Structure 1
């Protein structure tokens, strides 16, 4: 069995030598067949594998700092995006509130953060980095850059920008679908 998508669905140049209209052909690219959804050519499977590879390498880079994937994201959001509530951290890190609470508990135990109740609203909690938290957070962005650059080795700047624009377009397409 071939590991590529069915040839009838591939992009072909038009007679003029210019690419054929991509949107009309791409709309029916996957046919619901074993061949078209093979894990090596299915965009969903490839994206999942890429995410797993990025996470594995990030975990390796963060381990010397005493951080896991679930722990470094909140630190980066607090430090670089001024996100300071558990609910907003949960939304921005795309993890459930229970997992975020556990991550914050661990970060607090490591003395990387403090949690303070709001004087105005006792239900509201504000998260702040400690001196140790700021020190470790300073190491996060260089680690992220190293991991991304490893995965993007051999890509041109234009290819990276195209990849990002295509992924963003896919996300936009997915958000437009109404249940």
Structure 2
């Protein structure tokens, strides 16, 4: 089923516009909340993914977070400069770069769960439990999960 046609399409009324606006709004609010940790919302995704062992290489992180490899390299460079992560070559395959959090990175990662949920909860304050669950369900369906 086609929901949009050339006749009814309006950029500001499209799902893409709403999703981008929502993402930018949440990212800005999370960025503000994370300011004292000196990381951005995008960097938070990297830090938490490494902490939880969800991804351990730049390629895995790029795929998981939907970030192109060039931007991922720049973000990893910044996190490494801040002393939050370290890179090492795989012993089995020298082409593979493994990533791990430093002690400082682990300390930053441990603080994130106390900072971000209040930001998200404030944005979701007018949602009922059922609406929240439906939003999660619809977004998962939209992105193909």
Paired positions, count: 145
Report the TM-score when normalising by structure 2.
0.88
* Aligned equivalent of 2:6, options 26, 29, 32: 32
Q: Deviations over 1:77-105 (max 9, x none)?
A: 10124411111011111111111111111
Describe how 1:51-66 pairs up with structure 2 within 5 A: 51-66=23-38
TM-superposed deviation, 1:164: 1.4
Alignment correspondent of 1:145: 117
Residue of 40, 43, 61 corresponding to 1:71: 43
Q: Which structure would you say has the larger RCO, counting Cα contacts within 8 Å and 6 or more residues apart? A: 2
Matched, 1:170 2:139: no
Match of 2:106 among 121, 126, 134: 134
Match of 1:45 among 9, 13, 17: 17
> 1:111 aligns to what?
83
RMSD after superposition: 2.0
1:43-101 CA-partner distances (Å, limit 9, x unpaired) = 22111110110111111111110112332211011012441111101111111111111
Moved over 3 A (4+): 27-34
TM-score (norm 1): 0.73
Q: Distance in 2 between matches of 1:129 and 1:50?
A: 30
